Structure 1
Amino acid sequence: MDGITFGRASLLCTLLLWAFQVCSGTVTVQVAPKVEVLKGESAKLPCTYTVSTSSSNTVVEWYIEPEQGTARKRVAFRSQGGEGKSDEGTTLTGRVTIGEDFTLTISSVQPSDELNFYCQVTAGPAGVGDAATMLKVFFAPEKPELTRPSSQAISAGETISSEIGTCVTKNGHPQPRIIWFKDDQPLPEVKDRKEKTYMIPSVVKEASGLYTIKSTLYMQPTKADKDSVFQCTVEYSMPGDQIKQKKSDTITINLNYPSEKATFSLLNTDPVKEGDNVTMKCETDGNPQPEFDFTKDGAVIKGQGGLLMLKSVKRTDNGVYTCMATDFDNLDADLSGTITLTVHYIDPVNVSPAQPQVVMLGDKVEWQCKTKASAAHTVHWKKGSEVLSQDGTLSLQDATYDKAGEYMCVGAVPSVPGLTAQASVNLTVKGKPMIETPAVGEVGKEGDMVTLKCSAYGSPAPQFTWKPSGKESVSVEGNKVVSTVTLQATAEVMKDGVTCEVSNEHGTDSKAFLVSLKRAIDNSADRGFFNLSFCVRGVCVVVVALLCYETEKLSFS
């Protein structure tokens, strides 16, 4: 009997459940599982639904979950065919709207808007359905700022970790993270302060909802870290599962470490010669640099820090220079170095005979030039830029006026740039004067003024006489004397010319200067004429020339 009763009850329940499903139907809601947006931009959260039975009084409502596990709070709603409205008194009031397609739009999104949103659809007899979407808000943090501590230098080999630097990045969302680098290699993230290298991080959530991240790096550096470069990077997320980075500027550490060896070097790049300034530098491979002592051939000399400077050195500054340093953190180290300084020199040039030489025209003259130097050297004679001899002997077999003047003997050390010495001698060639070949004077017509120049060699300087005379001036051009005369080209001058006479204690010379009419040229289309007339010692010649030429005709196709 009990079994029959139980069976009837079970059948009744099954029939009732089937009847409820037929009457109520189902509501299916679809939303995007996640919506990503940048801070300050607008976010759109779509919502669509389907119902198993039609309903004329469907209502769509959007809710937020302020905190996980707390009661939902409605922020906007809209009925089918009705007008969308937003609720008052929420964090989204004034920034949220619901469209005809039930999409929820949030303007000027803030980090605090990163919440779970629920789209709930109530469809009368069909029932109620909902679905959740997560709004993710992103904002790129500022470039990280890396600073060194203001404390003194770090000593290598200490058993306590020292602060290397602090990295700070501001205004990021979601929370970014800081990665430390040494020499472009990432350092493992270690927070255990018992380790030699570790980081102390801190996170501050600002009132804006953005994050400020700080990380301080501690290390026990060794001497190998003296030139290491440190840098921090902020790693942050952006929409589309992007992971981006921003790098800080780099820093180095001021590391103290003991010296193990010393280096003593000459900073001059060229061989040292007398008159040079010399700088020698002594340094160790430690930090900071210790005090240095300098000696020359055992005698103490004064330096400046690690520099030993010698002004305008002489050959007596040759010798062995020694640098010595003492590092109290490593007293067993041999911190010394030596330099053997060689100061090159060349003695003053000795010319024999040293006095100015005076010879007669055509005579022979000879000089010898010698010097000594610290290295292989050369001796050569030159006049102006012309090299005349390279063996120290200058011999002139036939003295002429153009060989008079200054001669220079130059000694040089080719292996030492700029190391030279020189001496000069002067040669005077005496003899009777000699006039250069005269040039013809030209005038436009008889009676015009004409200017003539008479150039003569001779020593002593010759005296000039013009016949006929005129307005005269005298100048010296190198080894010659030039007399310039200006006079009227009279008929007599045109006929007989003008005579220049020169004389000194050794003799005389004279030359006649011709005076002629300038050439007159008459050009026409196909021919030209010119005439030339001059008079020499009573004989007048008139030359008339007719130049005929044909113009070659060219044709072009």
Structure 2
Amino acid sequence: MDGITLGRASLWCTLLLWAFQVCSGAVTVKVSPKVEVLKGDTATLPCTHTVSSASSNTIVEWYIEEQGTRKRVAFRRQGGEGNSDDNTPLTGRVTIEENFTLTITSVKPSDELAFYCQVTAGPAGVGDGTTMLKVFFAPEKPELTKPSTQAISAGEPTSSEIGTCVTMNGHPQPRIIWFKDDKPLAEVKDRKEATYMIPSIVKEASGLFTVKSTLYMQPTKADKDSVFQCTVEYSMPEDQIKQTKSDTITINLNYPSEKATFSLLNTSPVKEGDTVNMKCETDGNPQPEFDFAKDGKVITGQGGLLTLKSVKRTDAGQYKCTATDFDNLDADLSGVIALAVHYIDPMSVTPVEPQIVKLEDKVEWQCKTKASDNHIVHWKKGSEVLSQDGTLSIEKVSYANAGEYMCVGGVPSVPGLTAQTSVNLTVKGKPMIENPTVGEVGKEGDMVTLKCSAFGFPIPQFEWTPSGKESILLGDNKAVSTMTVQATAEVMKNGVTCKAGNTLGTDSKTFLVSVKRAIENSAEGRAFSLLLLLFSLLLSGLFVVQTL
């Protein structure tokens, strides 16, 4: 009997359990488990349902959960109007559509909540689904600043502040990662470690997060050129992980000097007249005090720079720099430069005085100098090089040889190191008039200007026949007389005579005067002649055609 009773009880329990499942499963609600949206955008939360039996009294309600209690924000009856509830965090920003989708405008970080879509279908029962709304907002570019304290000293037993990284207005909470020389540093919060970070997080009234991290280290000398940077890592929709880098900083690190370097900054060989710069520096920071000496005698520099202006050959010698670093007095902090100053002496010419040589006689000069290195000497007249061995010799002097000659010396191994001097040659002889040019006038009776050029020394005197208004210009062993006269019939017939004379003789030349042939000599005349030729050829062609 007990067994029968027990069997019936089990059967009833099974039937009751089946009935409960049917009732609870009569309303099926389908929602998106997660909806992602950017702050300020519009979020759309869909909700669909099915009811096992027809119901005319179906109502769909959307709830949020606040402090463990559900609070309704919007509802809509089947076939009715959508309504939103007052005095909720979403009031004025939420609507429920005809298809029961919940729409939230101007989404805030505080809207990141669990949303429940509850469907009540009368006798068919109640069902619901949960959607988690995720709100995202990219933080600002991180700002990396150095501490306002003085420089950090290498080898200190305690950690020093390297910098502070701050990123603002992000959601969800972003993360700061530190980098040293482009390599990430492990996140350490234990202040007993040599390298650690002190983080802080502030949730602003807007619901956005401001994250700050301060880096502490015990830097060594090897960190003197290290570059530090921080990166903010944050989440965005569709499981994206993004990063934004800060600007970089370097640290002002103090460390003792171990060696000194003394270097000549001039890139070319030093020559007399140059400004010489020599720099002394150590591998420490800050730079210590420097002392300078030349051949054992103390001289004055400016910091680690020694400047010599307009140097002379006497400035050549051994220069020494000595640094004193009180953090490492045992180190040998000195350097030596053997400074060479190149020079070239003034050019020496023999004979030194200007030379007056008779026409067709011989003249010779010797030129030499001394220099700090192999040097060259050559003679020039204008741009023409006449000799490269220091001797200039002219066997038969002509008037064309008169003028100025330059003796130039140089040191090829030292750019710009040159010296030069000049001598003057005057050729003595009777006048020699250059070939005359024909004077031209527009018509008889016009004024004509003639130029008579004559070599010779002593300076020639000019006589024109017939005479006119005259001016004289003197040059190298040459005189030019310019005379203006009327082109009379006699002048047109016989020309004008120029006579030049000095104590050694005379010379004369006749200058012809003629009327310009305008058509032949002008551009218009040449064009007219060309047209006549073409016209003649055209007529010839027409004649040939007619004959054929």
TM-score by length of 2: 0.94
Q: Secondary structure at the match of 1:328?
A: coil
Distance 1:467 1:195, change over 3 A: same
CA–CA distance in structure 2, aligned partners of residues 117 and 5 of structure 1: 47
How far, CA to CA, are the matches of 2:45 and 2:531 in structure 1?
Answer: 108
1:372-383 matches, within 5 Å, as 372-383=370-381
2:61 partner amino acid: E
Conservation of the 8 A alpha-carbon contact between 1:258 and 1:327: yes
Tell me, what secondary structure is at the counterpart of 1:72?
A: strand
Instruction: Assess, with a 3 A threshold, how the Cα gap between structure 1 residues 166 and 16 changes in structure 2: closer, same or farther.
Output: closer
The one-letter code sitting in structure 2 at the alignment partner of 1:267 is: L
* Matching residue of 1:55: 55
Rate the CA distance shift 1:340–1:480 in 2: closer, same or farther, 3 A. same
Q: Structure 1 residues 440 and 190, CA, compared in 2 at 3 Å: closer, same or farther?
A: same
1:119-162 deviation per Cα after TM superposition (whole angstroms, max 9, x unaligned): 00111111111111100000000000000001111111111000
Runs of 5+ in structure 2 lacking a partner?
none
Distance in 2, matches of 1:525 and 1:16, equals: 128
Q: Secondary structure at the match of 2:451?
A: strand
Query: What displacement does 1:505 show?
Result: 0.8
SS of the counterpart of 1:421? strand
What is the deviation of 1:88? Answer: 0.9
Identity of aligned residues (%): 79
**Which stretch of structure 1 is more off in the superposition, 325-334 or 135-144?**
325-334
Please give the alpha-carbon distance, in whole angstroms, between the structure 1 residues aligned to 2:431 and 2:317. Answer: 61
Check conservation: 1:314, 1:343, Cα contact below 8 A: yes
Structure 2 equivalent of residue 356 of structure 1: 354
Change (3 A) 1:277 1:17: closer
The equivalent position to 1:293 in structure 2, one of 277, 291, 295, is: 291
For the pair 1:220 / 2:218, whether they are aligned, the reply is: yes
- Partners of 1:526 and 1:548 within 8 A in 2: no
SS at match of 2:123: helix
| Structure 1 residues 300 and 213: CA distance shift in structure 2, 3 A | same
Tell me by how many angstroms 1:447 deviates: 2.7
Task: Quote the Cα distance in structure 2 between the aligned partners of 1:383 and 1:446.
Answer: 45
Further displaced range: 446-455 or 294-303? 446-455
2:175 paired residue among 174, 177, 185:
177
**What is the Cα deviation at residue 418 of structure 1?**
1.0
Q: Post-superposition shift, 1:19?
A: 5.9
Q: CA deviation at 1:520?
A: 5.1
Tell me if the contact between 1:464 and 1:500 (Cα under 8 Å) persists in the aligned partners: yes
Do 1:25 and 1:125's aligned partners in 2 also have CA atoms closer than 8 Å? no
In the alignment, the residues of structure 2 paired with residue 547 and residue 106 of structure 1 have an alpha-carbon distance, to the nearest angstrom, of 94
Give me the whole-angstrom Cα distance separating, in 2, the residues matched to 1:11 and 1:527.
137
**2:421 is the alignment partner of 1:417:** no
Deviation, 1:166, is 0.3
Supply the distance in 1 between the matched residues of 2:455 and 2:19 (Cα, whole angstroms): 147
Could you give the per-residue CA deviations for residues 165-199 of structure 1, whole angstroms, max 9, x where no partner exists?
00000000000000000000000001111111110
Give the whole-Å Cα distance in 1 for the aligned partners of 2:240 and 2:171. 13
User: Conserved in 2, the CA contact under 8 Å of 1:55 and 1:124?
Assistant: yes
Per-residue Cα deviation, 1:55-83 (whole angstroms, up to 9, x for no partner): 1111101010124xx11111111110011
Give the Å deviation of 1:12: 4.6
What does residue 95 of structure 1 align with?
93
What's the counterpart of residue 156 of structure 2?
Answer: 158
Report how far residue 24 of structure 1 moved.
Answer: 7.5
TM-superposed deviation, 1:497: 1.8
CA contact (8 A) 2:402 2:476 kept: no
- Of stretches 327-336 and 81-90 in structure 1, the one that deviates more from structure 2 is 327-336
Which stretch has the larger CA shift, 517-526 or 5-14? 517-526
- Name the counterpart of 1:462: 460
Aligned 8 A contact 1:295 1:323 in 2: yes
Deviates more, 1:505-514 or 1:176-185: 505-514
- Indicate the SS of the match to 2:156: coil
Farther-moved stretch of structure 1 (308-317 vs 441-450): 441-450
Letter in 2 for 1:194: K
C-alpha distance in 2, partners of 1:145/1:405?
Answer: 76
Between stretches 380-389 and 104-113, larger displacement belongs to: 380-389
Which residue identity lines up with residue 65 of structure 1 in the other structure?
Answer: E
Contact between 2:375 and 2:409, CA under 8 Å: does it hold in 1? yes
RMSD: 2.4
Q: Which stretches in structure 1 are left out of the alignment for 5+ residues?
A: 531-545
Cα shift at 1:519: 2.5
Change (3 A) 1:22 1:494: closer
For 2:366, the equivalent position in structure 1 comes to 368
Superposed counterparts of 1:439-518, under 5 Å: 439-518=437-516
Contact in 1 for aligned 2:24/2:127 (Cα 8 Å): no
1:269 and 2:267 equivalent? yes
Cα displacement string for residues 252-287 of structure 1 (whole angstroms, at most 9, x for unaligned residues) = 000011111110000011100111111110100011
Partner Cα separation in structure 1 for residue 529 and residue 76 of structure 2 = 114
**Higher mean Cα deviation, 253-262 or 438-447?**
438-447
Does the CA contact (< 8 Å) of 1:43 and 1:109 recur in 2?
A: yes
Q: Which secondary structure does the structure 2 equivalent of 1:313 belong to? A: coil
* Letter aligned with residue 263 of structure 2: S
Change (3 A) 1:514 1:528: farther
Cα distance change on mapping 1:462 and 1:80 into 2, 3 Å: same
- Of residues 107, 111, 114, the one that matches 1:113 is 111
Residue of structure 2 in register with 1:540 after alignment: none
Structure 1 window deviating more from structure 2 (101-110 vs 3-12): it is 3-12
Deviation larger for 456-465 or 38-47: 456-465
Of 333, 344, 347, 1:346 maps to 344
State the match for 1:304 in structure 2. 302
Q: Shift of residue 297 of structure 1?
A: 1.0
Equivalent residue number for residue 396 of structure 1: 394
CA distance in 1, matches of 2:342, 2:31: 92
Give the AA of the match of 1:237: S
Say if 1:521 and 1:529, in contact at 8 Å, map to a contact too.
Answer: no
